[in-house]
Structures are given as C-alpha cells and as structure tokens.
Amino acid sequence: MKNLKLLVGLVLTGLSANGLYSQSNNQNTNYIALQGSSAFPEGIITLPNNDLLVGGFGDGSIQRIDKNNKVTYFSKSGENGMVIAVGLHLDKKNNRLWVANFNFKTESGNPGSQLKVFDYTTGKLLKTIPENFIEGAFFNEVTMDPTGKVYVSDTFGPKLWSTTFESKNTDVFIVNDLLKNPSPDRPFGLNGLTITPDNKYLIASVMNRTVKGGGTLVRVNLSNKEVTPIKLTNDKATHSFSGSDGMFFYKGQLLMVNVYSSAGAIFTANFNNDYSEAQLKIKDKFQSVYERPTASTIRNGKLYTVNSQLNHIIDDKDGKINTPPVLPFKVVSVPLKELLK
C-alpha cells in the first residue's frame, strides 16, 4: 500500500505518560494518557468490571484503564501475534474478547487479517482464527449475534466475514456492492458494524473518509442476507456524515464516530421500526476535545473516545501525514447526558 512504509517504519520519539488530565476550559471533560509513543489507539471497549481496553493500531498493543484510570498493558506490543489491533468485541457470556488483527505486510508481502480471541478476565490468548492471515482482507469492526456467530467488516472489499469460536476458519458471509466505497480511487470503504437491539439486522457503515458527506449506512437482514441502503434524514447531518468508524446502540439509538471528524465527531442515528430509515444528528457540544477519534464506549455515565491521530500515518488530506503525533496518546471522556442533549 501507498503508506505501508510509513506505517511500518515510522519512528516516533517522546515521553510516555500515565494519568488523568483535565481540560482547562471544561471541568467535565478529562483526558487519560496512554502508554507508548506509537500506539495510535483505534478501538475501545468497557469490560464488565468497568475497566476499559484500548487497542493500538500503531503497535498492536491492548492497554487497560482501570477504575482509577491507572493504565497498564493487557497485551504488550509484539505479544500474542498482534500486529495492528482494530475492532474489539466482548462475548460477556463466555468472558471472551474478540480482536480484529490486521497486518499490512504478512510473510507473503501482502496485507491480511485474522481474529484473536482472549479470555478478558485473565488476558490469556485462547484462539487465533484462522491461524494464518487471510490475504487481501482488512478486518475492522467486530460484532456478534446471540447464537455466538461473529461478524466482521472488511475495509478492503465490499464484504462481511463470519465465524464462531469453535471454527478454525473465517468465511465470507456476504458480498454486496452497497458495501463498497463510492469513490473508485479509495481503498478504504466498509468500516463500522453492529447488530440491532432486536438482533434481526446488522447495521454497517461505508466511509468516504476524505470527503465531507457521502458516508452511508446499510442494513443487512440476518435471516435472508438481504442488503439494503438506509435512508438518512436531516440534510445538515447527512451532508456532514462521511461514514462511521466505531458504533454501538445505546438506549435504542446508534452512537457513531464520524470518520470526517472536523464536520462533527460524534453522531447519533434514530431509526424507524424496521431500521430502513434513520435520522442523523450531530452531537458537537464537546467537538474541540477530539483529535481524529475512531471509537467510543460508555463507563459510569461518560462517553470515552480514543483520539487516534491516525491522520499522521494515513492520508486524510489535512496536511498532517508524515508529521509526529502529539504525545501522549489520549482517551477523552465527556458527560454522556450533556452530549446527548
């Protein structure tokens, strides 16, 4: 890939930090500093004990933030075969953490993906599915249905993959042009993925990352695999929505991180009964605290979001590629109730 050499060989310097930082102009907004100078955090999730886990796109690490905001490593960089940690998903019934593991350059020289499954209570790696990277796939976001079937979005191709913990392989679940980036010169397309509260549909998002607007939401019927576009309403929000990265349902509405964050980092979507139509809203009260965010999670009434700074290693056409990120990398928290007003 065009930016492979940069991503793999980027050397960054700076002091790692560990602690809580209050934003000067809003006492309700806090930063948590992550460890490491090349983490480029991408995914975040809340464990049942209220610890947070944060995946590193830049170093493959998974960091843990406990209830006191102490930061330690759940899986250090270079451990457990992790290369690039992308989407995270919890199987709470079985105490399992699913992680999309991407590699820009496998042994063959091609990009590829696999899934890693950990016991989130012990940190032990339980399984790798499949053992060898699937060449040509970019696993991104991960979700699961009540039967234990796991679904993964593929950012390189208009397809979703699926597997189970008992499986040795990950198989193509569906291929559809509605899951393709409309810009033919853009290699990155399908990204955000989650399952609806009624467990009938997958909601997927196709991103048009460097263009304001143009992002889509797509509905996938799990019973018959029918793929249909979701009609988006609210012109202002729709014209600012370039597609979602991390997203999840909260009290019936979908919370999303917009990949074109300068047009509004946090969006919500409220759906009709069959999820064929959604009203988008920009939630920009705390817009100034975000620096190329990619995913969010909720803990104790606050929305925690990773400031990935991926625009320093992936060209977002904002002039920051090849420049050092601001260290330390941070997770920002904002009061959820105020955000959603």
Mean pLDDT across 151-167? 97
Q: Considering only 5-14, 35-44, 143-152, which range has the smallest mean pLDDT? A: 5-14
Q: What radius of gyration do the chain's Cα atoms show?
A: 18
339's enclosing H/E stretch is helix 336-339
Per-residue model confidence as pLDDT tens digits over 215-271: 999 999 999 999 999 999 999 999 999 999 999 999 999 999 999 999 999 999 999
pLDDT band at 325 (very low <50, low <70, confident <90, very high): very high
Q: Does residue 327 contact residue 312 with C-beta atoms inside 8 Å?
A: no
Provide the pLDDT confidence category of residue 23 given band limits of 50, 70 and 90.
Answer: low
CA distance 9 to 195: 36
User: Per-domain residue ranges for the chain?
Assistant: 4-339
Write out pLDDT tens, residues 35-71: 999 999 999 999 999 999 999 999 999 999 999 999 9
**pTM for this entry:** 0.94
| pLDDT given for residue 28 in this prediction | 87
Q: What rounded mean pLDDT belongs to the chain?
A: 93
Q: How far is CA 158 from CA 107, 131, 145, 202, 285, in A?
A: 25, 23, 21, 14, 34
Are 301 and 335 contacting, i.e. CB atoms less than 8 angstroms apart?
Answer: yes
Residue 13: pLDDT over 80? no
C-alpha 295: how far from chain center: 5
CATH 3.90.1330.10 fits 4-339, yes or no: no
